[in-house]
Structure 1
Amino acid sequence: MKPKVYLTRKLPNEIVNSLRKNCELRMWESEEEPVPHDVLEQEIQEVDGLFCMLTEEIDRSLLEKASKLKVVANMAVGYNNIDIKAAKEKGVVVTNTPGVLTETTADLTFALLMATARRIPEASTYLREGKWEAWTPMQLTGQDIHGATLGIIGMGRIGESVAKRAKGFNMNVLYHNRRRNQEAENKMDLQFAELEHLLKESDFVCVLTPLTAETENLIGVKELRMMKETAILINTARGGIVNEEALYHALKDGDIWAAGLDVFVEEPVSLNHPLLSLSNVVTLPHIGSASRKTRLKMAEVAMMNLLKVLNGEKPPHQVE
């Protein structure tokens, strides 16, 4: 008998067809709407494998209902949506999709940095609303990127790739990480810095660390006040790393100059969110890895992880 698998979001046909060849597949049919929690609770009781997105909260109560479950394959690098401790206690393997989205996410991170620094969305709106009546010397002036100091919080794969792009703009790169990355330092002339020093010295601060108990609200009131008044904060990691209320007040009061955000604590973000009311914030709907090629590759890697476990093999990307 084929193993039973539940897929929490409709994916392109090439992925779905491959899963159906190897599994007895059930699937939430919507591409846009996440599976309701009560539906997931019902489905997880019957399956050997769960293929999920970062939008699904796989908590202890859900895992306790999954008597047959062997694997949770998360189609994401981050896995803060899954209770890893509870999964281990249940003997459920958790996998993720590292590596395949590194360059695409680095592209988006640097694009967001540039768009925020040069006020590109604001300038486009200004033109489209018919406000451009004359050229003036200080109209829509932004911040220079070339030659500036970039502070990267989290020097993993994506951090290294963002640093490579920064070096192309002749930027000085500081980084803060749990462990020093000597190889990256030597290869790209990066400087390790304690968090306080990085915040005080950087013109741009990029948040690229995973969301964990240690990094939740890592950037709050105290940290934002350490930053330059001309500094720009970029977050393409996870919303919970930055205290959103503190960021709103820092931007509104001029403690920092601007922010570019691809992620929020609650997603999708409400149109009433205070940060969306500020003109010095560039916002995106969590599209860091959103190229078709990359998303297909992520799905393929998640599927490979899932099938390896269901076949009694060790997956290449198991979360330890």
Structure 2
Amino acid sequence: MRAAKGPYATGGHMNKQLIVLVTGTAVVPPEARNLITDRGFALREVTDDHVGAEDLHAALDGVSGYLIGGYEEPEPTHFERAVTLEAVAFVGTDFRSYVPGWHTAYDLGIAFANTPGENAASVAEFTVLLALALARPFTAAIVRTPHSPADPISTASPPEGRELGGRTLGVVGAGRIGARVATIAQGLGMSVLYTSPRRNQALEAATGIAYTDLDGLLSRSDVISLHRPGPTADEPPILGRRELAICKDGALLVNTGHHDLIDPVALAWAVEHRSLRAAVDGLGPGDAWAALTALGPERFLSVPQMGFLTRDAGLRAGLRAARAVCDVLSGTGSPDVTNPDFRERRAAVRHGGGE
């Protein structure tokens, strides 16, 4: 962790130097970090993508702003103990699935911003990449450099693949990312179905994709792509044993949403008994996910969470997050704040009305 000295902030904090914490190594680009110091704030950096709980407590001590740019998952106690913290920005969209303490931040009157849509193109393109990797399973056929001249180079024939053109894609969740995936798939010659909590008739009119319920989508789709936020603590996965049993034999399943959208035990059953192949951007914890990984990448392909990780998306999202935090700390507010009543809530907490 290193701190960089900066000028003094203005706008409600005259003559008080305010610190903004930025975590992670890749998601928040230098341009966003420069914006923070150019706006008159000191920059504190934790160049660790997986900062631990206690180190995060230490890093948050005395800071006024916080950009969540690593893979840490701040708990309620992180916000409770960060008594000077006024503004947080999640460099992404689905903070409710990845920040367990978000509700506590709301309760304490901490402004909480996110950056919806900024990584949609990157995640959509990565989704199609994973679908193609399942349809054309080439990973085992990659020629690797031998450790020594005596090591043989595999000459095994690559497995047979399938074309995506002429097949049906089912999109679960037709928001910014799902809609982009649908249009890319149409460019490949696929028919597209979608299901969503709210029907998007404007999207249907613009693209010609068809709405159906979840069961209808699962039973008719050759490729299924998940684009829903992660379930809350009391919600079951979207896809369990019953839902996966509805899928076509040999269907391809891509999940670039949250890993908890799928029951891993049920997924292992579907891979074994329904010849389903799946790809996930990121991996859940525990033995069930480890067992899936052991099936091999041509049946279950998992990668470290990286769909959002492009230079383009990082620049858009990082600058937007940095701007939101700086705007709140400067007293002007930001349209990206998801709890616009944060000032009233903070005042109530400070006057003993937070219970």
Normalising by structure 2, we get a TM-score of 0.81
Which residue of the other structure, out of 306, 309, 320, is the alignment partner of 2:328? 309
Q: Which runs of 5+ in 1 are unaligned?
A: none
| Aligned-partner residue type, residue 132 of structure 1 | T
Q: Which of residues 101, 111, 129 in structure 2 aligns to 1:93?
A: 111
Moved over 4 A (4+): 125-129
Larger radius of gyration: 2
Say if 2:212 is the partner of 1:193: yes
Partner of 1:8: 23
Letter in 2 for 1:47: V
The Cα offsets for residues 236-282 of structure 1, whole Å up to 9 and x where unpaired, read as 1111111122212221x23243111112224xx99x82222123122
Which stretch of structure 1 is more off in the superposition, 4-13 or 232-241?
4-13
The equivalent of 2:183 in structure 1 is 164
**Matched residue type, 1:41:** H
| Structure 2: runs of 5+ lacking an equivalent | 1-15, 147-151, 340-355
Question: Contact between 1:235 and 1:260, CA under 8 Å: does it hold in 2?
Answer: yes
Q: Are the aligned partners of 1:47 and 1:69 in contact in 2 as well (CA < 8 Å)? A: yes
Number of positions where the alignment pairs a residue of Structure 1 with one of Structure 2 = 310
Which residue of structure 2 aligns with residue 17 of structure 1?
34
Q: In the alignment, what sits opposite 1:183?
A: 202
Matched, 1:52 2:91: no
Distance 1:196 1:18, change over 3 A: same
Task: Look up the equivalent residue of 1:84 and give its one-letter code.
Answer: W
Aligned mates of 2:256, 2:160 — CA distance in 1: 24
The alignment partner of 2:98 has SS state of coil
CA distance in 1, matches of 2:310, 2:318: 12
1:168-190 Cα deviation digits (max 9, x unpaired): 12211111111001111111111
Aligned residue type for 1:25: L
Report the Cα offset of residue 23 of structure 1: 1.1
Aligned mates of 1:196, 1:54 — CA distance in 2: 36
Q: C-alpha distance in 1, partners of 2:313/2:240?
A: 32
Of 154-163 and 50-59, more deviation after overlay is shown by 50-59
Matched residue of 2:194: which SS?
strand
Distance 1:171 1:240 in 2: 27
Q: What does residue 70 of structure 1 align with? A: 86
CA contact (8 A) 1:4 1:46 kept: yes
Alignment partner of 1:132 out of 155, 173, 181: 155
- Is the alpha carbon distance of 1:53 and 1:145 closer, same or farther for their aligned partners in structure 2, counting shifts above 3 Å? same
Structure of greater relative contact order (alpha carbons < 8 Å, 6+ residues apart): 2
Q: CA deviation at 1:119?
A: 0.7
Q: What is the root-mean-square deviation of aligned Cα atoms in Å?
A: 2.3
SS at structure 1 position matched to 2:273: coil
Distance in structure 2 (CA, Å) of the matches to 1:103 and 1:5:
28
* CA shift in 2, pair 1:152/1:221, >3 Å: same
Amino acid at match of 2:208: D
CA distance in 2, matches of 1:258, 1:14: 40
Q: Secondary structure at the match of 2:43?
A: strand
The structural deviation recorded for 1:230 is: 1.4
Q: Which amino acid aligns with 1:36?
A: G
Contact 2:53–2:74 (8 Å) recurs in 1: no
Instruction: Find the residue that maps to 1:273 and give its secondary structure.
Output: helix
Letter in 1 for 2:94: G
Partner of 1:120: 138
Q: What TM-score, normalized to structure 1?
A: 0.89
Deviates most, 233-242 or 17-26: 17-26
